[in-house]
């Protein structure tokens, strides 16, 4: 009997150790994924919300990871699709696509 008891104890500790390392791996993976997502989103949301640099040029070349929505927020042009008849599908935007940006009216001219 003592042999079986010690064997169970050893088996239980191995199972607990495997469970611990599995949980550690799972938590690490979740944290890595969250860090990647939040870093990626922060990059785009920061540039679209707090960007106060010079207005975009009239001719704009789409960069990697940009969408018409992020370009619209960045440049202040909500009419990108209407002013670019060569864009047939707003979801079909790719790096290198050249689009026309209509500069926003300044508040001093209104």
Give the chain as a 3 state SS string: CHHHHHHHHHHHHHHHHHHHHHHHHHHHHHHHHHHHHHHHHHHHHHHHHCCCCCCCCCEEECCCCCCHHHHHHHHCCCCHHHHCCCCCCCCCCCCCCEEECCCCCCHHHC
Q: What pTM was computed for the model? A: 0.47
**pLDDT the model gives residue 36:** 82
Residues 9-18 have a mean pLDDT of 77
Alpha-carbon Rg for the chain in angstroms: 27
CATH fold group of domain 54-110: Membrane-bound Lytic Murein Transglycosylase D; Chain A (3.10.350)
pLDDT at 109: 44
Q: For residue range 30-88, what is the model confidence (pLDDT) as tens digits?
A: 888 888 877 764 444 444 444 445 568 889 999 999 999 999 988 888 899 999 999 98
């Amino acid at each position: 009997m003592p042999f079986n008891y010690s064997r169970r104890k050893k088996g239980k500790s191995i199972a607990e150790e495997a469970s611990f390392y599995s949980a550690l791996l799972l938590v690490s993976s979740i944290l890595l994924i969250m860090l990647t997502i939040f870093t990626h989103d922060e990059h785009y949301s920061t540039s679209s919300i707090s960007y106060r640099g010079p207005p975009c040029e009239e001719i704009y070349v789409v960069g990697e990871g940009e969408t018409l929505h992020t370009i619209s927020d960045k440049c202040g042009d909500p009419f990108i699709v209407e002013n670019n008849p060569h864009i047939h599908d707003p979801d079909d935007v790719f790096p290198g696509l050249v689009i026309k940006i209509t500069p926003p009216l300044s508040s001093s001219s209104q």
